[in-house]
Structures are given as C-alpha cells and as structure tokens.
Amino acid sequence: MNKILIAVICYNEIKTIGELLDKIKLLPSLHKFDVVIFDDCSDDGSVEVVQKCGFNFITNKATRGYSSNVMNSFSYFMNNEVYNSIILMDADLEHDPDYIELFINKYPNADLVIGNRSHKNRWAENISGVFFSLIGSRIDPFCGMRKISRSFLQEFLQHNNSYYDGVSLPVFWAKTAAHFQLQSLPIKVGVRQDLPRFGKGLKSNLKLLSGFARALRYVKS
C-alpha cells in the first residue's frame, strides 16, 4: 500500500483533457502514482481522447453529476488497497497538473492537503474561507484539488457514504482535527475553458452556502 491514485473528474472536457494528460505524462513522480479518469458519460469525445492518451478510465452509463462521480472515485480507491492516498483534480486545467508533484512531496504524512487558489470564482467561497480562518486554518474549502489519506477518507465515509460536496471534507476535518493532520498548498489557477461546475450567479452562491450550512450542522451534531 504505497501508491497514490490520481482521480481526474471529467465531464465534457474535450478542450482540455488531452493537454492535461500529456502534462501528467511528463511529471518526474509518474512512477509513484496511477491515473484514472472518472467520466460522467461525456458526449463530446472526451473518452476517446483519454483512450488515445493511453490512460485508464471509468465512465458512467448516464450522467449522474459531479458528486456521484467523485463518490465513484472514492469507491474505486477504497477497493484497491495498493493506494495509500488519493488526489482529486478536475479535468478543466484550472489546476495545473504540475502541482501534483507538490501534493505528493510537500506534506507526505498529512491526511488532508487542500489547494488554496489564487482566485475564487464565487463570493460564497470567500465566506466559507473566513470560517476556517476563525478556527485557525487558512484553507480554501471548495478547492477541487486535494490529497486525502486512506485513513481519513475511511473515517469520512463511515459518516457520509452517499453524497460529496467540496466543503464536507474540510468541515469533517474540523470535527476530527485531534486525529488528522490538515495542510494547505497555495496554487495559481488557470483560465477555465468553461463555466465553473456550479455556475457563478446568485443561485450558485446560495447553493454553495447551503452546502456549507449543512456541513456546519453536522459539526455541531
């Protein structure tokens, strides 16, 4: 149990998935990890690009949404004990794959390493960041790029095995901080080729705040 799983979450990313995977092939730490693309039934040719690049992929038979796709990656990870940690990242090149090296090598013993983006897409993300600042952790709770240890994820899934949103993991850490180590890595974000997965308007901000409030209620329970 000494390898890392890079789980690339993909839905209709034909503009970026090829470039992302080509960059991953050049990483010095390539021997330390496996890459699996978790595809949410893309219909734009993304899977065909993944096949040409020679990477493994798992695709849903129907579009099930971001949360379900991430949960698929968790299930795959937990069922393959060769992996001791999983790195989540999106396929849209907002997160440069060069950061994989930092996530692997900077804090090898941390249970949860979260990227801290140079720019947030929505004001609700800044509000949630204030909460963690108040408890002494300057993190970006909605950043999609993160490394999670097997022991921490196993504990998390015992309490929540049906739904995932970005903020639920760091909020769970806040409840279990005495047992698990969290670290944050500053990262610069690239220019997206599409809209953020939750949008940018008022509705999307309220959706993020609702998820954050739901996670906070769990912490108080």
- Look up residue 189 and give its DSSP letter: B
User: Which amino acid is present at 112?
Assistant: L
| pTM, 2 dp | 0.86
> What is the CATH number for 65?
3.90.550.10
Torsion over CA: 117, 120, 121, 122 (sign): positive
User: Which amino acid is present at 202?
Assistant: L
Structural domain of residue 172, as residue ranges?
3-220
- Give CA–CA dist 129/191, Å, rounded: 22
Residue 79, classed as helix, strand or coil, is coil
Given phi > 0 = left and psi -120 to 50 = alpha, else beta, which region is 78?
alpha
Question: Which tokens sit at 52?
Answer: 């040409």
Binned at pLDDT 50, 70 and 90, residue 218 comes out as low
CA dihedral 16, 89, 101, 51 (to 10 degrees): -50
How many domains in the chain? 1
Q: How does pLDDT run across 156-198, given as a tens digit for each residue?
A: 998 877 778 777 788 788 778 778 999 999 988 876 555 555 5
Q: How does pLDDT run across 44-60, given as a tens digit for each residue?
A: 999 999 999 999 999 99
